[in-house]
Structure 1
Amino acid sequence: MAEILVDDNLNLAPVMLDQCSVGLFVLGVDDCIVNWNRWMVVATGIGVTDAVGHLLVDLFPELSGSVVEQAIDKALRQDQMTVLRATAETPLLSLRHHSGNYLNQMVIVKPLPDQVEKVLVQVFDQYEYPTVPIHSDSRTTSQLDTLTTRSILSSIADAVITTDINRRINYMNMVAEKLTGWRLKSARGLPLTQVFQAMDEGAVKLEETISRCLETGSPASGQRQELILVHKDGIGIAVEESVAPIRDEQKQIHGIVVVFRDVSQTRSLAAQVSWQASHDTLTGLVNRGSFDSRLDRLLRDAMESGRIHSMLYLDLDQFKIVNDTCGHVAGDELLRQIANSLSEHIRSGDTLARLGGDEFGVLLADCTEPVALRIANKMRQAIMDFRFIWDDRSYAIGVSIGVVAITAESERAEQVLSAADTACYAAKDGGRNQVHVYRSDTGEAAQRQGEMHWVARIHSALEEERFCLYVQPIVPIDKQTAHSGHYEVLIRMRDEEGKLVPPDKFIPAAERFGLMPRIDRWVVNQVFSLIEREHEMLVLGGYCFAINLSGGSVNDEDTLAYIGKKLDECRIPAGMISFEITETAAIANLSSASYFIRTLKQAGCQFSLDDFGSGLSSFAYLKNLPVDYLKIDGAFVRDLATDPIDRAMVQAINQIGQVMGLKTIAEFVENETVLTLLREIGVDFAQGYGIARPVPLTDQDGNLLLGK
């Protein structure tokens, strides 16, 4: 039999183009369709006879005036290629699939090489393409001339190889040349398997597929198969291929066509997507979703087998200081190094995950509590000994760890996580850099239940307007007056029976469960509205109010925006409002606190750093916070007369405040002796029961009580 070439009169287009894994159709100068491959038939539901010879806009009326029509015009008139990508809001073509409409198409429109006024349109789905059953005896494309066929084959993304009946190559397009490393001139006449070499089992599969195709006269399978193609240079390339017979008009088989495409990038991308779906990209550790799934498996195992497992919940201490001081790049690098350090202390088969931020979780399979406790302490010691170097400076951090057992009595994953979090919180509350084991029969569960009870009561109090405000004066020490006009605003809650509830009863629960921003906004609204109503009395009377803000509010952009809005609405004069932020809340997120303070200072507010001296490295971070007042922690002031260390601390804080141009305020001043010592030290203001006790700001009807 004579060698079969693409230039022969056999119509190779139907088989070759129908094997392609993308949609293909060709338009002429009159915008009529001259070719329509099988992919388009399956994806649109429009048969060849209904497509060929018709205008594209007749099939897709929505394309009139669209970017697709504009791209076709550019290809026809300006010889210009265009790549279009669809979105869920703007699909390009109405393609259908068993799962619904395709909304992720990419369309390439380009002029055919060596063809006058003909345009090739290639339609890709970015995630999958329809399974196209190929039948070699069907004519799904129109009859194309040889030159058009060659132009299409040189333009499509798929590789095409045709052979004669003896499996010797007679045609390859440019994509096939690139993937195999063979030029058509050298490959023509060679056995297919010499040019299209598949590795190991792939070679056997390919041989079986070709034999079955030639024996049956039909494609061996409606599905494509993956194998590794060996490039001429020895490089392995992952490809997806399909094989179909070539027939003449009398349906006699004259050879085969192999259509294949490079799926290396797709396979790599799929592996990468799979990895990213289960791992944290920063540290390379397992992420929260995968951690939760593994925790569920351990829970099921504990219930079914009775085995004991353990979980550790780790929260880094002082991470935010490094992150805020050195920047997020340093913070990310610190997390990576910590992850590597922790990885050295877990056993094979255990799971170390980053749960979010600076929090990590560890699942210890077949691990009793004593063993889990030893592992947790090794991790704690490793972090304590670790030194992070950045910009020639060394930083020490710590970690608080909660330990909880996973047993047959552990009902749900949420309970295990909650218990581990509670234990970690107890470790932090106990002084940080500790390991704490959760005990359900101790006060931890009761404490958490009690906090949850307070959450409900806080919500009810807010809805029923059962919060009220008290004030306590802050007086200049040298004037010794209880009525300076400077007051700290204090919040109280009335219970269901109208009795006052002190803040230390409900504030911890509010902070724990994120309710403080809502409470703080309530206080701001009450004080600002009162100033607006009593403008003559309070503004002209020279009053100023200090309002406490929680760490949650300082890190909340909504609270910052709310305060700014209320300042404008209520026409609050500059200098009349100061906000008190605790030192620990400020240094917990230094950058947020600094931004918050600077923004409201521009609006005329002042700031006090409350409980100063209770945090770590107070002086080192003070220069980054543009405050106006330092409120010396009352723990140093209360025993000032009897404890020389407390006196030295107060002197040091006052001195640094004076050097920085800040006013100092002493809290918990309870007697005249302490007040005298504060005057000798040079502290500016005093506050406490020795000056005046808190009093209501308004009566129950909201009427101002100050000055009356």
Structure 2
Amino acid sequence: MISIGQSAVLPFLRLKATTSFKPLVMVFLGLGLLLSAELSRYFTLPDQQFSALWPPAGIFLASLLILGWRCLWVLIPVMLVWSLFLQQAHWFFALSFVTGLTLGSSVAALLIQRLGRTPLKKLTFKFLMALYVKGAVLGSGLVSLFGALGFWVSEVGYSGFAFHDIWLVYWGFEALGVVLFTPLAVLALLKGKRYLIKVWIDFKRPELLIWLMVSTGAALLTLLLETSGHNIYATVLAYTFFPLLCWLVMTARIETSVLIIPVFAGFFVAFSLLGWGGLQVIEDIQGLVRLLLQIAAMVVMAQLIASINTERGKLILLFKRQARIDYLTGLDNERELNRELQQLLDPKEGSLRQQAVTPWLIYIDVLDFEEIGDLIGFEGGHGLEQQIARQLRTLREPDEQIARLGPGRYALTLGKRTGIEIELLLAATYQALNDQEFTSGRQTTRIRVSIGAIPMDGELDTPARYLSAAHQASLLGRQSQERIYLARESRPLVEGRQRLTEKFESLKRALPENRLLLYAQPIASIQKEATELSFEILLRMQSPDGEILPPVEFLPAAETFGFMLEIDHWVIRNTLQALASNPEWLARTAKCGINLSGASLSSPDLANFIADQLEVSGVPAKKISFEVTETETIRDARLAAQIITQLRELGVSVALDDFGTGLATFDYLRSYEFDCLKIDGVFIRNLETSKVDQSMVRATCEVAKSLGLETIAEFVEGSSLIGMLTELGVNYAQGYGVGRPQPLGDFFAEDKRRLQA
């Protein structure tokens, strides 16, 4: 007898159970095994011991795969009882038959489980191939070896047959049972009653109802043709059931396919044994073997089609998911966000203006994300995005959408929230994300975000326009201390963005068309008389109709669209060329000031560019001063300090513009090397009447003097201020009280007239 306590001997003791042990499952398993074994006796020839359909082969293997070795406490006794008492089999055959079924199924289950190295969870093409090779060939071969031996020894009626003939026939029917019933038993044991529910739901689909009606009609028509004497037509029609089976497995769920395939095989065997439907009657064991081969070929083909179709369906679902889900964070992507926004805009859903609570669109932008990525690396950037995604998920309601629009850019759609709730959410989001520390490897950085929020108020007609408005709100948010901008209307943002875009396009056309103009504004020395000219280069743009536009009309567009570096290069190149082309201008120049944007101070090649332009033009470096605005955004403070040092090494001077207006005024003096401070006009306009402004200007001059820096007062609007500025210690004055900006050529022409007067 077999002892199922000897783990060192039997390999199935190392089988992993996929589901937990449940006594009720074991009861149903035993009853199902007994019933299937008994029913199999109806699918054979009279006085034959071989069953054309043998479900216990598949049930044994599936039970070991899903339940593990403990199921043998039920399977072995049930099969012994059935063979000894219900079938009145010889005791030696019963023992050989059950031993072979146990060992062969255990070996096959162990080999199949080792294939995936994890408990079986679903039917796949890979599993089917393992089932055919390791179950139907290897496992069934071992089962049939024991069974054929018992059969050959104990069954006197088969003594005339060679042992290998019995073994091969036994092997064939056992293998068919494994192939036909293992997938069905696996899914039934895995899913229980949920399996039947899924099959029931599947058959409610119109496609399967049509298939069922067509198949039933074909079966009835086959029988009708046979009874009316048209056997040839009945036979032809009977063989059309295989295409019908293929139609089914390409349409149905895998749960339905593995159930219908054995049912189909059962009907085909029954029709063949009874000679129905014009099929040739099976009369001997040779005919039964031919039937086995036909069914095996059809079953394997149908199972493979079903498995491939299932895998195809999963791939399609995966592709659909990838089309709407961001691969990195698991959030929705921009395509899915646009689809959801379009549904909100759909007139069928009702006008947004008529909704009781207005939906909101939130745009979150991680500032300087590209530079952060350079610091923490590719994997670090991915980790940061995933962390932000997790944080955003905790802030939204289940029915609210979060999408990743691109590196460091996110959007949220919020509904059923009041204005106060939106403000609280924005504050909570900003607090959660902004200024948090993120570490990747040895690199640590702090995150800064800008948040914009707009109402989806029905004023715009496309998702793209709402996203553009939300993005514009986040850009406006950068200008505030908390970097949050809550818009009450959406249309003004889009219209403002449109105007900005139009100005940018006009600016891009102005460069090749030479419509950018250099202006100069004089800078007067007020502590001592100067014999040469000092001035600041200012930029103007001429519109196509000849109108002269001030910087406020085009520079904000250049800053927004990242065009300031090109503008700075144009001004530097053309200013130096103008001075070099007019030696008398160059001779009269003491100091020419040129503004640098934050984009230029973040460009590692700036110093090399300026050095090249100085060399090409031949303009002495000491005549050039570059002005850095304190309020300008500097992305990399260390690089900016390096650039300023390089510029001073070239021989040019560097001035800090708008001094006193930023939050880090004196920190700039400590971090960067300057030659001059330009005191912002906010301290100059009311200087004559404001004691505070006078104190601020005096203190600035004292600090500058102690550092060896000169000072320039900006926005000097009247000559009456010059005396007070001189008294406070200011070195230079600039403003309308000194001279208005004018074209560079006119500036020097006026100077020439003054000298000749």
Question: Scaled by the length of structure 1, what TM-score is found?
Answer: 0.55
Which string of whole-angstrom CA distances, capped at 9 and with x for unpartnered residues, describes residues 643-699 of structure 1?
A: 344344445544554555544332112345544444454444332233333332115
> In structure 2, how many angstroms separate the alpha carbons of the residues matched to 1:241 and 1:541?
85
Find the partner of 2:349 among 305, 324, 333.
Answer: 305
The 1:471/1:648 distance shift into structure 2, 3 A limit, reads: same
Find the partner of 1:566 among 604, 609, 613.
Answer: 613
Find the partner of 2:464 among 381, 404, 414.
Answer: 414
Is residue 344 of structure 2 the alignment partner of residue 371 of structure 1? no
**Secondary structure of the residue that 1:314 maps to in structure 2?**
strand
The 1:649/1:371 distance shift into structure 2, 3 A limit, reads: same
**Secondary structure of the residue that 1:693 maps to in structure 2?**
coil
Which structure features the higher share of strand residues? 1
The 1:214/1:662 distance shift into structure 2, 3 A limit, reads: farther
Q: Match for residue 337 of structure 2? A: 294
* Kept in 1: contact 2:711–2:730 (CA 8 A): yes
Which structure features the higher share of helix residues? 2
* Kept in 1: contact 2:466–2:490 (CA 8 A): no
> In structure 2, how many angstroms separate the alpha carbons of the residues matched to 1:333 and 1:274?
22
The 1:432/1:559 distance shift into structure 2, 3 A limit, reads: same
Find the partner of 1:455 among 484, 497, 504.
Answer: 504
* Kept in 2: contact 1:574–1:603 (CA 8 A): yes
Amino acid at match of 1:167: S
Is residue 579 of structure 2 the alignment partner of residue 531 of structure 1? yes
The 1:164/1:241 distance shift into structure 2, 3 A limit, reads: farther
Is residue 456 of structure 2 the alignment partner of residue 405 of structure 1? yes
Q: Percent identical across equivalent pairs?
A: 27
Q: Match for residue 560 of structure 2? A: 512
Q: CA deviation at 1:529?
A: 1.3
Amino acid at match of 2:394: E
Structure 2 unaligned residues grouped into runs of 5+ = 1-124, 144-170, 190-254, 266-291, 353-358
Over aligned residue pairs, what C-alpha RMSD do you find? 5.2
Q: CA deviation at 1:278?
A: 3.7
* Kept in 2: contact 1:475–1:486 (CA 8 A): yes
> In structure 2, how many angstroms separate the alpha carbons of the residues matched to 1:627 and 1:217?
89
* Kept in 2: contact 1:383–1:397 (CA 8 A): no
> In structure 2, how many angstroms separate the alpha carbons of the residues matched to 1:617 and 1:307?
49
Is residue 627 of structure 2 the alignment partner of residue 577 of structure 1? no
Q: Match for residue 609 of structure 1? A: 656
* Kept in 1: contact 2:369–2:407 (CA 8 A): no
Q: Match for residue 676 of structure 2? A: 629
The 1:683/1:298 distance shift into structure 2, 3 A limit, reads: same
> In structure 2, how many angstroms separate the alpha carbons of the residues matched to 1:495 and 1:596?
34
Q: CA deviation at 1:491?
A: 1.3
> In structure 2, how many angstroms separate the alpha carbons of the residues matched to 1:273 and 1:661?
67
Amino acid at match of 1:467: L
* Kept in 1: contact 2:630–2:662 (CA 8 A): yes
* Kept in 2: contact 1:399–1:434 (CA 8 A): yes
The 1:165/1:399 distance shift into structure 2, 3 A limit, reads: closer
Q: Match for residue 167 of structure 1? A: 140
* Kept in 1: contact 2:522–2:535 (CA 8 A): yes
Which string of whole-angstrom CA distances, capped at 9 and with x for unpartnered residues, describes residues 420-440 of structure 1?
A: 233344445566544422525
How many residue pairs end up in the alignment? 484
Q: Match for residue 77 of structure 2? A: none
* Kept in 2: contact 1:322–1:395 (CA 8 A): no
**Secondary structure of the residue that 1:312 maps to in structure 2?**
strand
* Kept in 2: contact 1:321–1:587 (CA 8 A): no
Amino acid at match of 2:331: V
**Secondary structure of the residue that 1:313 maps to in structure 2?**
strand
Is residue 494 of structure 2 the alignment partner of residue 521 of structure 1? no
Find the partner of 2:542 among 475, 484, 494.
Answer: 494
Q: CA deviation at 1:546?
A: 1.5
Q: CA deviation at 1:706?
A: 5.5
**Secondary structure of the residue that 1:584 maps to in structure 2?**
coil
Q: CA deviation at 1:516?
A: 3.5
> In structure 2, how many angstroms separate the alpha carbons of the residues matched to 1:333 and 1:166?
48
Find the partner of 1:471 among 504, 517, 520.
Answer: 520
> In structure 2, how many angstroms separate the alpha carbons of the residues matched to 1:453 and 1:549?
24
Amino acid at match of 2:522: P
Q: Match for residue 72 of structure 1? A: none
Q: CA deviation at 1:293?
A: 2.5
The 1:471/1:352 distance shift into structure 2, 3 A limit, reads: same
Which string of whole-angstrom CA distances, capped at 9 and with x for unpartnered residues, describes residues 128-157 of structure 1?
A: xxxxx9xxxxxxxxxxxxxxxxxxxxxxx9
Q: CA deviation at 1:320?
A: 5.3
* Kept in 2: contact 1:528–1:567 (CA 8 A): yes
Which string of whole-angstrom CA distances, capped at 9 and with x for unpartnered residues, describes residues 20-73 of structure 1?
A: xxxxxxxxxxxxxxxxxxxxxxxxxxxxxxxxxxxxxxxxxxxxxxxxxxxxxx
**Secondary structure of the residue that 2:511 maps to in structure 1?**
helix
Q: What are the equivalent positions in structure 2 for 1:51-130 lying under 5 Å apart?
A: none
The 1:322/1:664 distance shift into structure 2, 3 A limit, reads: farther
Which string of whole-angstrom CA distances, capped at 9 and with x for unpartnered residues, describes residues 221-251 of structure 1?
A: 3996899xxxxxxxxxxxx999xxxxxxxxx
Highest Rg: 1 or 2?
2
Is residue 427 of structure 2 the alignment partner of residue 380 of structure 1? yes
* Kept in 2: contact 1:376–1:401 (CA 8 A): no
Which string of whole-angstrom CA distances, capped at 9 and with x for unpartnered residues, describes residues 337-378 of structure 1?
A: 6655544331112223344565432122xx26x636622442
> In structure 1, how many angstroms separate the alpha carbons of the residues matched to 2:562 and 2:351?
36
> In structure 2, how many angstroms separate the alpha carbons of the residues matched to 1:612 and 1:577?
20
The 1:165/1:418 distance shift into structure 2, 3 A limit, reads: closer
Find the partner of 1:639 among 683, 686, 693.
Answer: 686
Question: Scaled by the length of structure 2, what TM-score is found?
Answer: 0.52
> In structure 2, how many angstroms separate the alpha carbons of the residues matched to 1:508 and 1:372?
30
* Kept in 2: contact 1:631–1:666 (CA 8 A): yes
* Kept in 1: contact 2:565–2:597 (CA 8 A): yes
Q: Match for residue 403 of structure 2? A: 353
Q: What are the equivalent positions in structure 2 for 1:70-469 lying under 5 Å apart?
A: 161=134, 164=137, 167-168=140-141, 200-201=186-187, 215-216=294-295, 218=297, 220-221=300-301, 278-279=325-326, 281=328, 284=329, 286=331, 290-303=333-346, 304-306=348-350, 308=352, 309-315=359-365, 340-356=390-406, 359-364=409-414, 367=415, 371=418, 374-384=421-431, 388=436, 399-405=450-456, 407=458, 410-429=460-479, 433-439=483-489, 444=493, 446-469=495-518
* Kept in 2: contact 1:291–1:351 (CA 8 A): no
> In structure 1, how many angstroms separate the alpha carbons of the residues matched to 2:571 and 2:302?
70
* Kept in 1: contact 2:363–2:471 (CA 8 A): yes
The 1:417/1:395 distance shift into structure 2, 3 A limit, reads: closer
Amino acid at match of 1:494: Q
The 1:410/1:292 distance shift into structure 2, 3 A limit, reads: farther
Q: CA deviation at 1:445?
A: 5.1
Structure 1 unaligned residues grouped into runs of 5+ = 1-132, 134-156, 171-188, 228-239, 243-262
> In structure 2, how many angstroms separate the alpha carbons of the residues matched to 1:445 and 1:339?
27
The 1:432/1:626 distance shift into structure 2, 3 A limit, reads: same
> In structure 2, how many angstroms separate the alpha carbons of the residues matched to 1:273 and 1:657?
65
> In structure 1, how many angstroms separate the alpha carbons of the residues matched to 2:620 and 2:303?
76
The 1:664/1:222 distance shift into structure 2, 3 A limit, reads: farther
